[in-house]
């Protein structure tokens, strides 16, 4: 009987703690968004973060994009050629990338590359009292440290996803046209004819904006809310990657259902 | 001797009354009264875990007390709005145990940081001010180093230069002597006293390094179990009749604070099944 009660008590405690964390996350998000005004007067802070969050992620995004495109070219050609439909390879590659793989894989890679770094950086700043130090210097650490990182992540994500998709299309072209003999003109003209700006491209951009928002929020909150010890920082970093991945994949289903589920 | 218990109100920079602070169910402070006098070096001492750092965070408005009041320069710090609190913090410097320097900036930029944030001074003026502050802590030559290249003592001196960059009225020192070799300890001790007198500051030191702190403090408060158990000038506290104070000031291993963490008798423990 006691074991059951203990179990129930533990469940309740975990529930309350989860709710409290959710509340702290939203309060923090409000604080971050309130910092957008002050940030507009110091664009340099944003530029520095755009570099460390966005520019430094370009290499992994670019390489992954090319390889994913090449695999799409191979797999697509293998299946489409059975039906004699190799001509539509370009459409298949581009649609897969722009609608799904571009935003989703970019977000997953971004969480691993930039999100984990953000969490570790903010967590260590907390552990080494740098955030406290800013507060005592009458500088709001949310405005000064968190808001620029949040906005930089949010802005970088769609740009990185666009780069991923564009390079993926070239990867597919290299395999399909260069190696497997699909007609060059057909590859591009089919793509041009069938890919719809609104339905495909805009929806992909909306997805990556949502993923950017969520990944940045998770990474920054985990860093800011972590226990200021080495164990706390390491756990927060892991949580960033796991939570971001789950959130991206879950949201991707919801968004896809809303956009394409007629 | 004028009554120490009731200093004139204008002489008191920080007035703490009936301070209570709980962490979970544990009382960190349970009714603490402290007066920090203008222009003096006040030390707050006590064993580890008595909440000395917590006290500084309460004075700086980073934590809220469960009960009681803290007035800094006549303003109840926990009744202030964010804007007023930040205005007041510009007039306080705080020296963290780790230094809390911004690791992505070099020494010069760290000291310049509060000036760039809170003033519109031209670059040439900022440069002069920073060099003067660094000169005061003896590190003008280290201006291009990064925080990672500094020793612990140097990092604290840079943090001190940053703390006085805006010419505050008060500096709070969190364990400034912990983990220092004798030379940098001596440097810090002298620096704290000299800065206090030269710049007409008010200094608050929380520490458990008895000899160093007593050497430069004008006033000592000894805290244990959430209460002030002794106060006065160092000489008076050292001569205190309290067994507790004597154990702490002389570093005796056993006394009112037992050597052993509470445990059942050794024999029973060893031969328990």
B103 contacts chain A (CB < 8 A): yes
Give how far B120 is from chain A: nearest CA, Å.
Answer: 14
pLDDT for B228 equals 86
Give how far A138 is from chain B: nearest CA, Å.
Answer: 5
* Interchain proximity A130–B102, CB inside 8 Å: yes
Nearest CA in chain A to B112: A137
Give the DSSP H/E element, type plus range, for residue A240: helix A230-260
pLDDT digits (tens, 9 = 90+) for B102-139: 888 899 999 999 998 888 889 999 999 999 989 888 88
Nearest-angstrom CA–CA distance, A222 and A233: 9
Report how far apart, in Å, the C-alpha atoms of B174 and of each of A105, A229, B70 are: 47, 19, 18
> Helices in A101-199 by DSSP H: which ranges?
102-110, 116-127, 130-136, 141, 147-173, 184-194
Q: What is the dihedral of CA A79, A85, A87, A90, to 10 degrees?
A: -40
pTM of the shown model: 0.85
* Chain A residue numbers touching B100 (CB-CB < 8 A): 128-130, 132-133
A38 contacts chain B (CB < 8 A): no
Give the DSSP H/E element, type plus range, for residue B156: helix B152-163
Residue partners of B183: CB distance under 8 A and separation at least 6: none
Choice between B227 and A261, residue whose per-residue pLDDT is larger: B227
Q: Among all chains, which residue has been given the structure tokens 């001596």?
A: B186
* Chain B residue numbers touching A13 (CB-CB < 8 A): none
The ipTM value here is 0.81
Q: What is the mean pLDDT of residues A166-171?
A: 95
Block means of pLDDT (10 residues each) for chain B, length 273 residues? 56 88 84 88 83 86 87 86 87 85 89 89 91 88 88 86 88 85 83 87 87 86 84 81 76 73 81 75
B167 contacts chain A (CB < 8 A): no
Q: State the CB neighbour count (10 A cutoff) for residue B176.
A: 27
B127 contacts chain A (CB < 8 A): no
A219: exposed, middle or buried (C-beta count within 10 Å: 0-12, 13-18, 19+)? buried
* Interchain proximity B62–A130, CB inside 8 Å: no
For residue B100, give the nearest of A128, A138, A139 by CB distance: A128
* Chain A residue numbers touching B117 (CB-CB < 8 A): 137-139
């Amino acid at each position: 009987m006691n074991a059951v009660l203990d179990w129930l008590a533990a469940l309740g405690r975990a529930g309350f703690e989860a709710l409290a964390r959710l509340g702290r996350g939203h309060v923090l998000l409000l604080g971050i968004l309130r910092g957008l005004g002050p940030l507009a007067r110091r664009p340099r802070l944003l530029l520095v973060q755009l570099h460390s969050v966005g520019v430094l992620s370009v290499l992994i995004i670019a390489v992954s994009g090319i390889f994913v495109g090449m695999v799409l070219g191979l797999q697509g050609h293998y299946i489409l050629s059975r039906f004699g439909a190799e001509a539509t390879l370009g459409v298949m590659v581009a649609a897969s990338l722009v609608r799904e793989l571009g935003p989703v894989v970019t977000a997953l890679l971004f969480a691993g590359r930039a999100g984990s770094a953000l969490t570790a950086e903010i967590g260590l700043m907390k552990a080494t009292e740098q955030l406290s130090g800013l507060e005592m210097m009458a500088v709001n650490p949310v405005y000064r440290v968190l808001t620029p990182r949040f906005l930089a992540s949010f802005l970088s994500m769609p740009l990185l996803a666009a780069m991923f998709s564009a390079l993926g299309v070239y990867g597919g072209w290299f395999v399909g046209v260069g190696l497997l003999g699909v007609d060059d003109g057909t590859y591009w003209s089919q793509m041009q004819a069938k890919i719809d700006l609104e339905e495909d491209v805009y929806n992909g951009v909306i997805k990556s904006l949502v993923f950017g928002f969520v990944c940045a929020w998770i990474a920054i909150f985990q860093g800011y809310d972590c226990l200021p010890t080495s164990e706390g920082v390491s756990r927060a970093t892991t949580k960033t990657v796991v939570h971001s991945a789950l959130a991206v994949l879950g949201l991707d289903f919801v968004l896809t259902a809303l956009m394409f589920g007629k | 001797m004028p009554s120490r218990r009731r200093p004139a109100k204008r002489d008191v920079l920080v007035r703490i009354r009936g301070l209570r602070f709980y962490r979970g169910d544990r009382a960190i402070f349970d009714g603490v009264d402290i007066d920090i006098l203008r222009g003096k070096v006040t030390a707050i001492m006590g064993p580890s875990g008595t909440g000395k750092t917590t006290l500084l965070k309460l004075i700086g408005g980073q934590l809220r007390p469960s009960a009681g009041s803290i007035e800094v320069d006549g303003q109840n710090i926990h009744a202030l709005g964010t804007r007023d609190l930040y205005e007041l913090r510009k007039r306080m410097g705080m020296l963290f145990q780790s230094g809390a320097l911004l690791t992505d900036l070099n020494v010069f930029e760290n000291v310049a940081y509060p000036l760039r944030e809170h003033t519109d001074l031209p670059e040439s003026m900022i440069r002069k001010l920073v060099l003067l502050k660094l000169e005061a802590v003896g590190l003008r030559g280290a201006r291009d180093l990064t925080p990672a290249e500094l020793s612990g003592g140097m990092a604290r001196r840079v943090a001190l230069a940053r703390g006085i960059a805006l010419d505050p009225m008060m500096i709070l020192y969190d364990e400034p002597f912990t983990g220092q070799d004798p030379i940098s300890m001596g440097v810090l001790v002298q620096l704290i006293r000299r800065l206090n007198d030269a710049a007409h500051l008010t200094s608050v030191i929380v520490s458990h390094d008895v000899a160093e702190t007593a050497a430069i403090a004008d006033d000592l408060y000894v805290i244990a179990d959430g209460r002030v158990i002794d106060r006065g000038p160092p000489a008076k506290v050292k001569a205190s009749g309290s067994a507790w104070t004597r154990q702490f000031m002389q570093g005796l291993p056993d006394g009112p604070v037992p050597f052993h963490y509470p445990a059942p008798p050794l024999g029973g423990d060893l031969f328990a099944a």
